[in-house]
Structure 1
Amino acid sequence: MNMFSCYKRGFCEATHLAVRNRFALPDGAKLSKWFPAHMFTGMKQMQAKVRLVDYVVEVHDARIPFTGRNEQFYRLLYKGKPHLLLLNKADLISKSRMRDVERMLMCKEDAVLFCSFNGRQKDASTVSLMNLVRHCLSTNEQRFHRQYATDYNVMIVGIPNVGKSTVINSLRARFTALNSKACAVGQKPGVTRSVMNRVRICDQPKIYVFDTPGVLAPQLQPDDSKSCVQSILKLALCQCLPNRHVGLEMLCDFLLYMLNRQNNFQYVDHLGLSNMSDNIHDVLQQVADQFHFKRTMSLYGVLQDVRDIERAAEKFLTLFRLGILGDQFLDFEYLDQ
């Protein structure tokens, strides 16, 4: 953070911004349900394959290590099998957050690994993951009916758009002689829609994976509870849900609320605002003016230029998702308990 940002943050704190104690949906607003049929089908396919699996890797987003995890994975897939929780996109949160999260998770998980499969940390993350997988497979004595098999099967599971296919492609490129990508990847949830055939990710020893579709917890459906609303909005901020199922302006309002609650006022500088604010309408109007976001529309038969609030909202979200607004960790309330 530069000196001006530090000054701005100190100034904002000194003025005692009245931040909302809780985030509530606007009157009449509803969050739409999103549990496509392929998720139900995918879960059934995973259950059918689990007998063939030696090890389960759950990929989740490090920004929301407690939010949105599908409890069905424990009940229906693990069943005594060794498993690893891989928290991807760890480069988007601070080291201190990682330590706090690890302390909380290690009491219930077999193993926890923080990784980032984009940018400079990709190679190191790929090697760290494979080393851990090899170690766990070599020490696993409970292979049941697969005890005489000379190869290994791993199932990679998780909610949508946390990087499962990227992880598989990275392992395949590094530890096999095969050059082609095995799994399609995308910036939006729902690219993988079915449990595919085995994909080789390592030659020595021979290790295969089943790529699986992202499956949300069925109980994570819109209702009036604070925890459910915030969980859905956090998932949308991390692009595990499509923006359209929440709405850009509502998503920006929640982002503003979260930043203010953590005393993170870097958005004031980066968005060119006159001051901090807890009013998303004022913020987006200032952003539209600052960046000259306009659109032409007909008012009473006359074409006029008006503020493009949608582009302003996209600008705010993009700055957050690129890490320009600082630490993207969103599950801070779990660490405060």
Structure 2
Amino acid sequence: MNPLHARNAFVYDKIINWFPGHMAKGLRLITEKLNAVQVVIEFEPIAQKKDRLIVYNKSDLAHPDTEAVITKAFKEFKGQDVVFTNANEDTNIKGIIKYLATKAKVSGTASEKELTTTVMVVGMPNVGKSSLINSLRRIGVKKGKAAPTGAIPGITRTVAGTIKVLDSPKVYLIDTPGVMIPHIPDPISAIKVALTGAISDHLSDEEVIADYLLFQLNQAQDYSYLKLYNIKEPTDDIRVFLPQVAKYIGALKKGGEYNLTAAAQFLIKQYRLGKLGRFTLDDIQPESLARFLTKEIEDPVSRRQQKKANKIEDRRLKRLQQLRKAEEAESNIESKL
């Protein structure tokens, strides 16, 4: 494939919405617990007026230039500190613990006053929240795993109790279920989220995700997949690419037909493990980051739309709460009969 003949854009128009019942419940529980929290790690719409620390985990999978340009852009346009971590390797974890310790405040009875910080860790599924908590605990109090981890979105289903990660001052973390925003209006943003594993693969079709991955590899002019999968020449056609990957891994159906779904799943897993290199899917050119970070300030229409969306979501959550109360009342009546 001549690089000049590669696709200039990825065409995808499916809106992917994934906001199952456990996420709605988790969002409600998170909101209810915010009053007891001093710091929120990671998820902007939840943070409200709390101190907020943005953590970019799995930084070992991002393009090497990502940390410097994003850190600079957030500082310049938002006055916001960000931290890049690899929780599996405890990268930059001590810095997070130091930051949280500075947020400690006096709590307890008059006779037993102590400095404490309560922190809520929130974000989309599969960003490594539980891994981050375990890393903070490992470094802060020299203890083992406290939160379950896994590659399947939705492992953490409920808001957990507090987990101590520092003794002096005392720092406690609250783990939360992965929560998506209820609606991702841009299909390309949705497919990016799906590729990173925050949305269940089957909702967006594994072969479509693999096609977007192939598009990104060719855009970066990274043809290392040729040697990895014993492919003779670059291609931008997923109908050509997947059968060759299926052949390489021996993914066959009955009758000898290539199993393209298995090949797509293999590719996606390879990407998420960093086997295909380090990639940042979003545009991190300084001018693009400037537009993104200042868009809300410059675009009153977007602000109005966001406020409208927030109001709709608030009403929806109130209806869910009312339904829950009605179900509890009905259950109480049945138990008395």
TM above 0.5: yes
Deviation for aligned residue 1:329: 1.1
Cα RMSD of the aligned pairs, angstroms, is: 2.3
Report what 1:22 is aligned to.
Answer: 9
CA contact under 8 A between 1:17 and 1:276: conserved in structure 2? no
Report what 2:232 is aligned to.
Answer: 274
The answer to whether 1:195 aligns with 2:159 is yes
Structure 2 CA distance for aligned equivalents of residues 205 and 329 of structure 1: 36
The answer to whether 1:72 aligns with 2:23 is no
Alignment-mate amino acid for residue 278 of structure 1? D
Report what 1:173 is aligned to.
Answer: 138
Q: Summarize the alignment of residues 90-169 of structure 1 with structure 2, pairs less than 5 Å apart.
A: 90-106=59-75, 107-118=77-88, 121-122=89-90, 124-135=91-102, 137-138=103-104, 150-169=115-134
Report what 1:8 is aligned to.
Answer: none
Structure 1 CA distance for aligned equivalents of residues 220 and 70 of structure 2: 17
Using a 3 Å threshold, how does the CA distance of structure 1 residues 49 and 328 change in structure 2: closer, same or farther?
A: same
Deviation for aligned residue 1:193: 1.6
Report what 1:329 is aligned to.
Answer: 280
Deviation for aligned residue 1:248: 1.2
Instruction: Judging by fraction of residues, say which structure has more helix.
Output: 2
Structure 1 CA distance for aligned equivalents of residues 284 and 136 of structure 2: 34
Deviation for aligned residue 1:109: 4.9
Structure 2 CA distance for aligned equivalents of residues 109 and 83 of structure 1: 11
Deviation for aligned residue 1:158: 0.9
The answer to whether 1:206 aligns with 2:199 is no
TM-score (norm 1): 0.77
Structure 2 CA distance for aligned equivalents of residues 102 and 249 of structure 1: 34
Q: Summarize the alignment of residues 219-230 of structure 1 with structure 2, pairs less than 5 Å apart.
A: 219-220=183-184, 228-230=186-188
CA contact under 8 A between 1:153 and 1:210: conserved in structure 2? yes
CA contact under 8 A between 1:82 and 1:110: conserved in structure 2? no
Structure 2 CA distance for aligned equivalents of residues 276 and 255 of structure 1: 14
Deviation for aligned residue 1:43: 1.8
Using a 3 Å threshold, how does the CA distance of structure 1 residues 180 and 262 change in structure 2: closer, same or farther?
A: closer
Instruction: Indicate which of 49, 54, 74 corresponds to 1:85.
Output: 54
Report what 1:61 is aligned to.
Answer: none
Deviation for aligned residue 1:150: 3.1
Structure 1 CA distance for aligned equivalents of residues 220 and 272 of structure 2: 17
- In the alignment, structure 1 segments of 5+ residues that lack a partner are 1-11, 59-69, 222-227, 297-303
The answer to whether 1:316 aligns with 2:260 is no
Alignment-mate amino acid for residue 53 of structure 1? V
Structure 1 CA distance for aligned equivalents of residues 192 and 126 of structure 2: 13
CA contact under 8 A between 2:71 and 2:81: conserved in structure 1? no
Structure 1 CA distance for aligned equivalents of residues 203 and 35 of structure 2: 35
Report what 1:44 is aligned to.
Answer: 28
Structure 1 CA distance for aligned equivalents of residues 243 and 53 of structure 2: 45
Report what 2:307 is aligned to.
Answer: none
CA contact under 8 A between 1:157 and 1:164: conserved in structure 2? yes
State the identity %. Answer: 30
| 3-state secondary structure, aligned to 1:150 | strand
In the alignment of these two chains, the number of paired residues is 282
Instruction: Indicate which of 233, 244, 247 corresponds to 1:289.
Output: 247
Using a 3 Å threshold, how does the CA distance of structure 1 residues 334 and 37 change in structure 2: closer, same or farther?
A: farther
Report what 2:258 is aligned to.
Answer: 307
Using a 3 Å threshold, how does the CA distance of structure 1 residues 291 and 182 change in structure 2: closer, same or farther?
A: closer
